Amino acid sequence: MRQRPVNLMDNPHADRVKRVAQLAGRSAVRNRRQQFLAEGPQSATEAIRAHLGFLKLSEPAQQMWPVGETVAEVYYTQRLIISHPDLFALVQQLPAHVFVAETSDQVLQAMSDAVVHQGIVAVVNMPPHSLQPSPGAELVAGIVRVQDPGNVGTIIRVADASGADYALATAGTVDIYNPKAVRSTAGSLFHLPVYTRVELGTFVASFQGRIFAADGYGTRVLDQTDSGMLNGPTAWLFGNEGQGLNDDELRLADQRVAVPLYGLAESLNVATAATICLYSSAMAQRRQDPSTS
Amino acid sequence: MRQRPVNLMDNPHADRVKRVAQLAGRSAVRNRRQQFLAEGPQSATEAIRAHLGFLKLSEPAQQMWPVGETVAEVYYTQRLIISHPDLFALVQQLPAHVFVAETSDQVLQAMSDAVVHQGIVAVVNMPPHSLQPSPGAELVAGIVRVQDPGNVGTIIRVADASGADYALATAGTVDIYNPKAVRSTAGSLFHLPVYTRVELGTFVASFQGRIFAADGYGTRVLDQTDSGMLNGPTAWLFGNEGQGLNDDELRLADQRVAVPLYGLAESLNVATAATICLYSSAMAQRRQDPSTS
């Protein structure tokens, strides 16, 4: 579909290289340019598949990652041709309006946030922050002021795996387009809508279902939760690593639910707690409705 | 119980400082000296509580972390006295045969593996590798050639939280006494026995219960697993990040069990899969036996 591009990029100090590298830095740059980086084969593959219309996305996810408009630029090193031939074949199918270039190792390293670059970097168009969650959904992962990019990425990946309709991140959450967060999603960022800058009160008021706060001090223990409770439309709220959910946030929830701790551990990492909560809901919802199993 | 020690350490190049710092490096050094580092308040607190006999450990865990013999040395900066007074109080209760010293920031940073030191480092005596798992247990986390220290640490933390009797790591697994692995356990390393260099075939032959291999290609899906199956004594095997469990390892299992993927995600991180498997077992075991709930 496209000619193999010439290797036009050998200079890690070229303006174009610097511009890409800036997207790995501060969120202000990403927000101003409305672009971010999908680094490495997993993330780049899913971004490109979204661009090509190869993913079976829900309609809201298609709005986030529109066919033909998701990927702006792709850079890769020659090694990718041998190490990931499938991905290289996808790159070759990108239409001509996407800028594609083979670069030297040095140039790709200069563009990459990773300690060792992984052979490919895609510049991706950021979905507008104005896209906001719909009130009708079976399962939602609410990320509330979580600070660690790895935790945010892991929660998005688990939201995808558990079949959540979407994830949302409140203002005060670390930028989900931070390169480490994107990498931690392992491509799941492009599989479901992830709404940003969500105002929690507005969301809760409109959501048609139960709001559960994952809270270590919750008196309701997940274990004892009857499946009738887990079975309906549910939005989970997962709070900040250090402080959890604050009082205002807890008050927005219908129920505070604790993951049981059977051993001597005093707490769980927020991504681990989210895993247990989201999968418990996903499994309970499917047990009740044999048509989807 | 002990005099507040003099601040004897201001020189980051002192021999003693170098010796401690070496324990953050290669596993060969740790194995030769049979010591490792517990860095940061969470890990150091639990190591010291084990030493003081303040943890309610099972008998096999007491063998790993004997009262009066767990901690060899403790170093902290003055800031810890204000930032973590409870921990400082524990440090002061350590008997005189434990070497305790207040150090400068520079010295603690030189000893630490972390990018920014967290105010305390304990030198801990490594349990003998000759300690090996007992055949009788309700729930076991088997870590099989997992390479990422963060994943290994997270699995140990989840094993603790889910009430597993013990965890085990086969030869070929990353050193569980690697500083990053220890940190990722968030203190759980000192809560349950974690056996090392376990020969998988020997363990499986002696274990009195079912062996389940967590395997993305398993035909049995966790969701559909009847609670009768999950209810009995169970050892889970979790494999290498890239390749999973190999054919020889899979053959040792009674059942290959897949965590269901409801969305578009193609796989789960091994620590995420372990979380779902261990908690599914823990909850099923408790549902069947009302006496423990």
For B33-96, the DSSP string reads HTEEEEEHHHHHHHHHHHHHT-S---HHHHHHS-TTTSEEEEEEETHHHHH-HHHHHHHHHS-T
Q: Are A163 and A283 in contact (CB under 8 A)?
A: no
Count CB-CB contacts under 10 A for residue B263.
Answer: 20
Superfamily of domain B15-125: Ribosomal protein L30/S12 (3.30.1330.30)
Q: What's the pLDDT band for A292 if we cut at 50, 70, 90? A: very low
Element (H, E) at B220: strand B220-221
CA distances from A107 to A10, A33, A39, B58, B234 (A): 6, 21, 14, 55, 50
Separation CA B214–CA B275 (nearest Å): 11
What pLDDT sits at residue B226? 65
Mean pLDDT throughout A140-160? Answer: 98
> What's phi and psi for A214, nearest 5 deg?
-75, 115
Question: Tokens 């021999």 label which residue?
Answer: B15
Chain B nearest-CA residue for A156: B265
Which residue bears the tokens 């008196």? A219
Query: Rounded CA gap, B61 and A292, in Å?
Result: 44
Residue B76 has a pLDDT of 96
Summarize the confidence of residues A81-89 as an average pLDDT. 97
Q: Which of residues 132-191 of B touch A (CB under 8 A)?
A: 154, 157-164, 186-188, 191
Give me the pLDDT at residue A8, please. 59
Q: Extract the tokens encoding A85.
A: 């031939």
CA atoms within 13 A of residue A160's CA, in its CB half-sphere: 27
Of A194, A231, A246, A238, residue with least CA distance to A214:
A238
Find chain A residues with C-beta within 8 A of B191's C-beta. 263-265
The pLDDT value recorded for residue B292 is 45
Residue A213 bridge partners (DSSP): A237, A256
Which candidate from B163, B223, B264 shows the least CB-CB separation from A55? B264
DSSP-H helix ranges across chain A: 15-22, 27-33, 40-52, 59-64, 79-83, 85-93, 105-111, 149-161, 179-184, 200-206, 227-231, 247-251, 270-288
At A21, is the secondary structure helix, strand, or coil?
helix
Distant-in-sequence contacts of A23-32, Cβ < 8 A, 24+ apart? A23/A123, A24/A111, A24/A112, A24/A113, A24/A179, A27/A175, A27/A177, A27/A178, A30/A126, A30/A175, A30/A177, A31/A126
DSSP code for B165: S
The whole-angstrom separation of Cα A21 and Cα A37 is: 9
**Given the structure tokens 């491509």, which residue do they identify?**
A187
B159 within 8 A of B278, measured Cβ to Cβ: yes
Residue B178 and residue B149: Cα distance in Å, rounded?
7
- Mean pLDDT computed over A25-41: 96
| DSSP secondary structure, A72-99, as one string | EEEEEETHHHHH-HHHHHHHHHS-TTSE
Give the Cα separation of B194 and B149 in Å (integer).
14
Give the mean pLDDT of B271-283. Answer: 96
- Best B224, B261, B266 residue to mutate vs chain A (most A CBs within 10 Å): B266
Spelled out in words, what is the top-level CATH class assigned to the domain B139-292?
alpha beta
User: Could you tell me the residue ranges of all domains in chain A?
Assistant: 15-125, 139-292
Q: What is the DSSP letter of A254?
A: S
* A267: nearest CA partner in chain B: B161
- The tokens for A49 are 């598949």
Q: Report CB contact under 8 Å: B159, A224.
A: no
Q: Name the least confident of A277-281, B139-143, B171-175, B220-224.
A: B220-224
Rounded CA separation A266/A253 (Å):
23
To the nearest whole Å, the CA of B272 is away from the closest chain A CA by: 7
| Of B173, B166, B106, nearest in space to B141 by CA | B166
Report CA-CA distances (Å) from B131 to A53, B35, B261, B275.
55, 16, 37, 25
> What is residue B240's DSSP assignment?
B
Tens digit of pLDDT for each residue in A218-269?
989 997 666 678 889 999 999 999 999 999 999 999 999 999 999 999 999 9
pLDDT at B8: 59
A293 contacts chain B (CB < 8 A): yes
pLDDT at A1 over 70: no
Q: pLDDT value at position B121?
A: 97
> Residue A91 above 70 pLDDT?
yes
Cβ distance of B263 and A164 shorter than 8 Å: yes
Reported as a single tens digit per residue, the pLDDT across B68-100 is 999 999 999 999 999 999 999 999 999 999 999
Question: Parallel, antiparallel, or unpaired for β B120-125 and B71-77?
Answer: antiparallel
Distance of residue A49 Cα from the nearest chain B Cα, in angstroms: 12
What pLDDT was estimated at residue B1?
53
For residue B264, the chain A residues in CB contact (below 8 A) are: 55-57, 160, 188, 191-192
Instruction: Among A73-77, A254-258, B4-8, B152-156, name the one with the lowest average pLDDT.
Output: B4-8
pLDDT (0 to 100) of residue A113: 83
- pLDDT tens-digit series, residues B96-137: 999 999 999 999 999 998 888 999 999 999 999 899 999 999
Asked if residue A7 has pLDDT above 70, the reply is no
Determine the Cα–Cα distance for residues A116 and A226; give it in Å rounded to an integer. Answer: 47
